[in-house]
């Protein structure tokens, strides 16, 4: 009689769904599913857990793994997913992951980790991931909550309509690596609010960041990076005018490294852009061009630096394999220099 009474007392089932779901998050995925056979009350509770760690090796076969995921991420579910970890160990078609992540984004995922242990089979992420507000917010909070952060690298980020926002009162060195995009004509933007920033490196093989700066400057004044002493940028020679616009915001710049690519498209620098570069004449000490081809647009920029930077100490040209050294040297000898102590170095790669 006592045993019968104990069996009838199912206190766990009397708990509210959110609390039960929280308890289930501490169980392996397969054990979470097994609770569905306890009673009608438990049939679908596991489908609403806020945190899930899903690994393909935990299932008897790959089809069982996909079936589990398809059911959990069914489009009819509306409960929020706080944290999701996906680990894929099978060399199978990965298209299903797109729909799973898309569903997680719609359910306001805040922490997402996808691991794929088979080389060259990483799936393309869904577009919805690039506009996920909850993931962006986590990034911004993380940066702003580091009061002594001085070095930050953003590498391999995805481009999207809203930019990454870097707000830090302590940041001194920032590296922005190349971004990847599946959105047509998207701009991998980064909003920088770092008044102590002194070193900035931008790797931008599509020049979209500088185009965005250039367009923004037409309607609003660019912020001043008064502490900026070193700048390293990568972009196409056709976009030299965009660089000139950004340099205007770095009045105390001492070292500039420019890495050039895409030698088939050039645009001449106009007097307006040249005047913007002249603002560096009282601060710039070192200029370094990588992959220098000697094109007229590049030489015009070199001329601007040599003629206007009064304290320039060294200008280095790392020539690309197609450049003609003799012609470059001849042109350099004809350029008057504002700095009598400036050393011009030519390096043949």
pLDDT at 81: 83
List, as own/partner pairs, every contact residues 29-35 make where C-beta atoms lie below 8 angstroms and the sequence separation is at least 24, other chains included: 29/53, 29/54, 29/55, 29/58, 29/68, 30/58, 30/59, 33/68
Given this model, what pLDDT does residue 313 score?
A: 95
Q: Looking at residues 103-123, what average pLDDT do you find?
A: 72
Q: Is the pLDDT of residue 346 over 90?
A: yes
Residue of 276, 165, 178 lying closest to 235 (CA atoms): 178
Answer yes or no: do 212 and 101 share one domain: no
Name 228's Cβ contacts closer than 8 Å, sequence gap at least 6: 197, 198, 199, 200, 249, 250, 252, 253
Final residue before a domain boundary, out of 63, 90, 125: 125
The answer to whether residues 15 and 105 belong to one domain is yes
CB contact at 8 A, 197 and 225: yes
In the predicted model, what is the mean pLDDT of residues 163-184? 71
Residue 175 domain flag:
no
Q: What is the mean pLDDT of residues 124-151?
A: 72
Mean pLDDT of 145-168: 73
C-alpha closest to that of 45 among 70, 64, 72, 26: 72
Averaged pLDDT score across all residues of the chain? 76
Q: Is residue 131 part of a domain?
A: no
Of 91, 125, 159, which one is at a domain's C-terminal end? 125
Confidence of residue 179 (pLDDT cuts 50, 70, 90): low
For residues 155-179, give the mean pLDDT.
72
Asked whether the whole model's pTM tops 0.85, one would answer no
Residue 133: pLDDT above 70?
A: no
In a domain, 143, yes or no: no
CA distances in angstroms from 218 to 221, 273, 279, listed in the order given: 8, 13, 18
Contact call for residues 119 and 147 (beta carbons, < 8 A): no
- Separation of first and last alpha carbons in the chain: 90
205 and 341 together in one domain: yes
Whether residue 344 sits in one domain with residue 205? yes
Whole-number pLDDT of residue 184: 37
Q: Enter the DSSP assignment of 184.
A: T
What's the CA gap between 249 and 226, in Å, rounded? 8
CB of 208 closer than 8 Å to CB of 182? no
Full residue range of the structural domain in which residue 54 is found = 2-125
Average pLDDT of the residues in 181-186: 41
The larger pLDDT score, comparing residue 20 to residue 331, is at: 331
Which of 76, 99, 125 terminates a domain? The answer is: 125
Q: Quick one: average pLDDT of 63-79? A: 81
Structural domains of the chain, count: 2
Give the residue-averaged pLDDT of 260-286. 63
Max mean pLDDT among 20-29, 47-56, 167-176, 254-263 falls in 167-176
Q: Each residue of 217-272: pLDDT tens digit?
A: 676 777 788 899 999 888 766 666 677 777 778 888 999 998 877 654 455 555 55
Flag whether 314 is in a domain.
yes
3-state secondary structure of 245: helix
- Do 209 and 333 share a domain, yes or no? yes
| Confidence at residue 300, expressed as pLDDT on a 0 to 100 scale | 82
């Amino acid at each position: 009689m006592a045993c019968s009474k104990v069996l009838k007392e199912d206190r766990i089932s009397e708990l509210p769904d959110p609390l039960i779901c929280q308890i289930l998050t501490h169980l392996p995925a397969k054990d979470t599913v097994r609770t569905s056979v306890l009673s009608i009350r438990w049939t679908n509770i596991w489908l609403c857990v806020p945190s899930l760690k899903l690994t393909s090796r935990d299932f008897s076969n790959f089809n069982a793994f996909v079936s589990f995921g398809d059911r959990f991420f069914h489009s009819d579910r509306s409960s929020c997913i706080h944290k999701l970890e996906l680990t894929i160990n099978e060399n199978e078609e990965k298209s299903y992951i797109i729909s799973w992540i898309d569903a997680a984004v719609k359910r306001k995922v805040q922490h997402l980790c996808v691991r794929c242990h088979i080389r060259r089979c990483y799936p393309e992420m869904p577009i919805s991931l690039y506009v996920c507000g909850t993931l962006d917010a986590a990034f911004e909070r993380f940066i702003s909550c580091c009061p002594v952060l001085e070095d930050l690298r953003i590498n391999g980020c995805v481009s999207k309509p809203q930019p990454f926002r870097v707000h830090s009162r302590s940041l001194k060195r920032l590296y922005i690596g190349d971004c990847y995009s599946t959105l047509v004509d998207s701009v991998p933007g980064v909003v920088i609010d770092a008044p102590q920033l002194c070193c900035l490196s931008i790797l931008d093989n599509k020049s979209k960041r500088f185009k965005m700066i250039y367009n923004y400057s037409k309607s609003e004044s660019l912020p001043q990076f008064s502490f900026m002493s070193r700048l390293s940028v990568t972009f196409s020679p056709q976009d030299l005018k965009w660089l000139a616009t950004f340099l205007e915001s770095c009045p105390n710049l001492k070292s500039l490294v420019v890495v050039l690519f895409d030698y088939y498209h050039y645009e001449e620098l106009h007097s307006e852009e040249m005047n913007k570069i002249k603002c560096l004449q009282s601060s710039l000490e070192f200029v370094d061009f990588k992959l220098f081809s000697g094109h007229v647009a590049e030489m015009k920029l070199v001329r601007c630096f040599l003629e206007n930077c009064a304290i320039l100490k060294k200008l280095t040209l790392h020539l690309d394999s197609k450049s003609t050294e003799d012609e470059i040297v001849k042109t350099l000898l004809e350029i008057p220099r504002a700095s009598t102590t400036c050393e011009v170095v030519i390096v043949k790669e």
